[in-house]
Amino acid sequence: MPAPHPRLLWRDVTIFDGERELPVPMAVLVEGGRIAKLCPSEALPATDPASVRDMGRGGVMTPGLVDCHTHLVFGGNRADEFARRLEGASYAEIAQAGGGILSTVRATRAASEDELLAAALPRLAALVADGVTTVEIKSGYGLTLADELKMLRVARRLGERLPVRTVTTLLGAHALPPEYKDDQDGYIRLVCEEMIPAAAAAGLADAVDVFCEGIAFSPAQCERVFAAAAHHGLRVKAHAEQLSNLGGAALAARHGALSADHIEYLDETGVRALAEAGTVATLLPGAFLTLRETQLPPVDALRRQGVPMAIATDANPGSSPLFMPTLMLNLACTLFRLTPREALAGMTANGARALDLADTGRIAEGLRADLCVWDAGSATELAYAVQPGRLRQRVFNGEITHN
Ligand code: NIG
Ligand code: FE
């Protein structure tokens, strides 16, 4: 019987540690699920070969990727809407006509928990096969108490089926369900007084999200959701400034948000609010691409003010049906002009920061051994080429899951 946590040793790997590429070839020893040693290969003390498993030499090692913003659990798909947008309809027009998010709500409500799980598993498997070791999954296509909890239970179960850490977020305030068509505030009351307390009591949500937008909820309504989340001990985050500037990101920051996401329309004042609160700016190039957005997120201002930038897939059936995290590295560079280093940090250290996880997303002694080794010569190559099949090894919690 192999030991549950064998000692694993790599030599002469190029390391991107979550912040930067280290200047010399490194050795890494994993033991007991943690990174036990990280040193230049030259400085590695003589190791008894019988006591370690030799994981090879060369390649690029990164932290396991952290996809800090997804909507992986949903019923149906929106291929028809994709075709309609190609004919000229906009995302907002489709939403206003009862399509968009609400069409996924209808399909998600109609699906059982097991059906949603079966549909989401291959999507999650695609992320895992592309190097993800931690993924955030939102609700937001149920919009009733029972259906939101159903989605969160599916998100939790996904993490039991595959070797990946799942973090769940209640996104009750995603869209106004048809039964509350004339009572927006009544729906927000349902989110605050029933969904948040129930999700918190059942331990089903790690955070609470909102969609602050003209086609969704106003800043005042989002503020009520943030207050209810705080009352139940849950951190918050926001879909903000995606289609217009309503000040949602600054509002979220004032409520101690972990992240403000999308933020193409964020202005300088909003950037300052994120900086002051230590809120992560999560950039979602997949949604930018899919919606053919032209307004770029304020990357220079974010850099100047030292706001950490995360990158995520936003994997969902409408605005980002793109289930490939490594593609996002490339898109973040090509579309948003991030450097390859910034893009990789966005899917590792800063992704973890956006989820409030301190022990993953970086390579350092003592941290959890969530690691990927890629067939590449430099970290830059990972953002440069969109090339499935380069993942040589994946380690989750110190266990080899792909070799
Ligand atoms: O992150 N902006 C709102 N929510 C999702 C889209 C969900 C959908 O279109 O189904 C987003 O883009
Ligand atoms: Fe989203």
Chain segment 325-337, per-residue pLDDT in tens = 999 999 999 999 9
65-354 maps to CATH 3.40.630.10: no
pLDDT in the model for residue 387: 97
**pLDDT band for position 4 (50/70/90)?**
low
Tens digit of each residue's pLDDT (9 = 90 or more) over 139-184: 999 999 999 999 999 999 999 999 999 999 999 999 999 999 999 9
> What's the CA-to-centroid distance between 239 and ligand 2, angstroms?
6
- C-alpha distances (whole Å) from 138 to each of 36, 198, 238, 251 are 33, 16, 12, 20
Ligand 1 pocket member 318 (CB < 6 A): yes
Tens digit of each residue's pLDDT (9 = 90 or more) over 251-308: 999 999 999 999 999 999 999 999 999 999 999 999 999 999 999 999 999 999 999 9
- Interface ipTM above 0.90: yes
pLDDT in the model for residue 17: 98
Q: Ligand 1: which of 67, 69, 70, 71 to mutate, judged by most atoms within 8 Å of the beta carbon?
A: 71
Q: What is the pTM of this model?
A: 0.97
Ligand 1 pocket member 259 (CB < 6 A): no
Q: What is the dihedral of CA 317, 323, 325, 330, to 10 degrees?
A: -80
**Does 69 appear as a known binding residue?**
yes
**Does 319 appear as a known binding residue?**
yes
| Burial of 159 per CB tally in 10 Å (0-12, 13-18, 19+) | middle
Chain region(s) in the chain for CATH 3.20.20.140: 65-354
| Burial of 88 per CB tally in 10 Å (0-12, 13-18, 19+) | exposed
**Does 314 appear as a known binding residue?**
yes
pLDDT in the model for residue 273: 98
pLDDT in the model for residue 5: 59
What angle, 0 to 180 degrees and rounded to 10, lies between the N-to-C axes of helices 101-110 and 145-161?
80
> What's the CA-to-centroid distance between 101 and ligand 1, angstroms?
7
Average of pLDDT values for 386-400? 97
**pLDDT band for position 46 (50/70/90)?**
confident
Q: Over the chain, what is the mean pLDDT?
A: 97
pLDDT in the model for residue 50: 87
Please report, rounded to a whole number, the percentage of residues in the chain having pLDDT higher than 90.
96
CATH superfamily of 8-63+362-402: Urease, subunit C, domain 1 (2.30.40.10)
Q: How far is CA 133 from the centre of its chain?
A: 11
Chain region(s) in the chain for CATH 2.30.40.10: 8-63+362-402
| Residues with Cβ–ion distance below 5 A, ligand 2 | 314
pLDDT of 203 strictly over 80: yes
pLDDT in the model for residue 49: 82
Average of pLDDT values for 98-127? 97
pLDDT of 23 strictly over 60: yes
